[in-house]
Amino acid sequence: MIFVCRKSLLSLAPVLLGLVGCTAASRNRPTDDHNIFVVTHRFESQTHAQSVAALNGGWALDSDFYAQLPANESWVVRGPFGNIHEAEHEAAFLRSGGSTEYAGAQVIDAGESRLSISVGERLCRHPSLLRCSVS
């Protein structure tokens, strides 16, 4: 599949970065209805979550994409993990580092992803893309 768009790649960076996170989330989960993460921060602003993730590690997760998470939040997370034990080990490791940045690290099961399999179709419907086609 080839995407043809009349926008610069730089202007698409937020969209593409979001897709990288989505791709990672779909690759490692144990089943379709479980997405296990370690949450280190929660914000109302996706921009703020992305900044914190860039500085402290992890990636920004949009809570709207997961069935068991509250709507309209952006979370800084690590994962997804293949099972709860791996996630608990990571959370304990982060909390043991002595940094207040990770003192509240906790394991969550975000539930089933609300993302469709056809990411290409969603990408081309994104408002930041003009005159985009999939071939």
Give pLDDT tens digits for 59-70. Answer: 999 999 999 999
Domains identified in the chain, total number: 1
Can you read off the two tokens belonging to residue 125? 């419907």
Residues 6+ apart with CB under 8 A from 102: 40, 94, 95
User: Which residue carries 């992890």 as its tokens?
Assistant: 58
For the chain, state the CA radius of gyration.
16
pLDDT score at 97: 87
pLDDT per position as a tens digit, 17-61: 444 444 444 444 445 568 999 999 999 999 999 999 999 999 999
Helices (H), 1-135: 13-28, 46-56, 84-96, 119-125
Which structural domain, as residue segments, surrounds residue 9?
Answer: 3-134
**How does pLDDT run across 98-135, given as a tens digit for each residue?**
778 899 999 999 998 887 655 555 555 555 554 555 54
Residue 85 has pLDDT above 70, yes or no: yes
| pLDDT at residue 26, rounded to an integer | 42
CB 78 within 8 A of CB 57: yes
Please tell me the predicted confidence (pLDDT) of residue 91.
96
